[in-house]
């Protein structure tokens, strides 16, 4: 953020710690109000089978249109919700909303992002199972997306929660693989059902040789465990072709479709001839 000085030069403007804290408190308060008023929404990004290029699933993504300020990115407000005890309510809202809407959609799976903090809550498994029952959506078509942080910090606890969820029929994906210190060792050790390749790795393809090598080795290992791999963040035809050649099973990204409303997903599914633009 730059502020013009009287001489017309721009100097770097750094918010003070107090201003920053105040902004976060305000955001948490607005978020709480939005939850009270049911003012959050959910959009869905289609995921395509790499072979048939037919839609095989969607990822549910929360959206918050903050009163008077426009949309706030989840990467900004999810951490604030986590710090302010609101993540459980957001998680329940997204799951209930998405699975109610998805009950109309035949065949496809629905992926839902789960914050590690939700898994810390002992009531999480029970409430997820209750939502499934109430929505009439089969648990084996729900994929819960988790990032590795939880598994690194609390391996025993993570194993226990995962096994409980899987006993209830849910499937579990390791999200954002390749964005941090991800280790393919987790795939087998924790019994993941699916692997999602982070867009930072997809975007590095063709720029560094290492990225392609890492992707190929990862896909080879995952398929030796029979774990399907989804590549996310695909923005170009070249990326779509490359990750397909590397053996990725499913494709997701702006190249195919941005996240859209539930009505739009219903329309796409009703149009039986509809496949990703580059069959």
* Contacting residues toward ligand C2E, per CB under 6 A: 45, 61-62, 73-75, 78, 94, 113-115, 145, 175-176, 199, 232-235, 253-254, 259
In the complex, minimum distance from the CB of residue 198 to ligand C2E, in angstroms, rounded to a whole number: 7
Residue 135 CA to residue 208 CA, distance in Å, equals 45
- For residues 175 and 193, which CB has a smaller minimum distance to Mg ion in the complex? 175
Are 192 and 186 spatial neighbours (Cβ–Cβ below 8 Å)? yes
Are 26 and 32 spatial neighbours (Cβ–Cβ below 8 Å)? no
Positive or negative torsion for Cα 132, 77, 38, 121: positive
- For residues 94 and 139, which CB has a smaller minimum distance to Mg ion in the complex? 94
Residues that bind Mg ion (CB under 5 A): 113, 145, 175-176
- For residues 149 and 247, which CB has a smaller minimum distance to Mg ion in the complex? 149
Residues 6+ apart with CB under 8 A from 67: 30, 33, 34, 39
Which backbone phi and psi does 86 adopt, to 5 degrees?
Answer: -105, -5
- For residues 61 and 268, which CB has a smaller minimum distance to Mg ion in the complex? 61
In the complex, minimum distance from the CB of residue 5 to Mg ion, in angstroms, rounded to a whole number: 38
- For residues 240 and 274, which CB has a smaller minimum distance to Mg ion in the complex? 240
In the complex, minimum distance from the CB of residue 60 to Mg ion, in angstroms, rounded to a whole number: 9
Residue 45, binding choice from Mg ion, ligand C2E, none, Cβ under 5 to 8 Å by partner class: ligand C2E
Helices marked H in 105-198 — which ranges?
116-120, 124-135, 149-153, 155-167, 185-190
Closest residue to Mg ion using C-beta atoms: 145
Q: Are strands 109-113 and 142-146 parallel, antiparallel or unpaired?
A: parallel
In the complex, minimum distance from the CB of residue 202 to ligand C2E, in angstroms, rounded to a whole number: 8
């Amino acid at each position: 953020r730059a502020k013009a000085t009287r001489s017309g030069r721009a100097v770097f403007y750094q918010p003070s710690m107090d201003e920053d804290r105040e902004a976060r408190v305000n955001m948490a308060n607005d978020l709480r109000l939005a939850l009270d008023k049911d003012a959050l929404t959910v959009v869905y990004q289609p995921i395509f089978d790499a072979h048939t290029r037919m839609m095989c699933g969607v990822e549910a993504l929360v959206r918050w249109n903050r009163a008077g300020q426009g949309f706030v990115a989840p990467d900004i407000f999810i951490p604030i919700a986590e710090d302010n005890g609101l993540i459980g309510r957001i998680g329940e809202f997204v799951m209930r909303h998405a699975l109610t809407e998805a009950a109309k959609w035949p065949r496809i799976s629905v992926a839902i992002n789960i914050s590690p903090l939700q898994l810390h809550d002992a009531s999480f498994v029970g409430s997820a199972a209750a939502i499934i029952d109430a929505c009439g959506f089969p648990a084996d078509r729900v994929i819960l997306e988790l990032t590795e942080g939880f598994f690194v910090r609390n391996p025993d606890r993570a194993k226990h929660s995962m096994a409980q969820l899987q006993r209830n029929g849910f499937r579990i994906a390791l999200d954002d693989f390749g964005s941090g210190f991800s280790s393919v060792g987790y795939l087998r050790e924790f019994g993941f059902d699916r692997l999602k390749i982070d867009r930072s790795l997809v975007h590095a393809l063709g720029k560094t040789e290492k990225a392609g090598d890492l992707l190929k080795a990862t896909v080879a290992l995952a398929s030796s465990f029979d774990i399907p791999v989804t590549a996310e963040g695909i923005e170009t035809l070249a990326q779509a072709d490359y990750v397909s050649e590397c053996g990725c099973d499913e494709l997701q990204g702006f190249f195919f479709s941005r996240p859209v409303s539930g009505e739009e997903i219903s329309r796409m599914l009703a149009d039986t001839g509809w496949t990703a633009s580059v069959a």
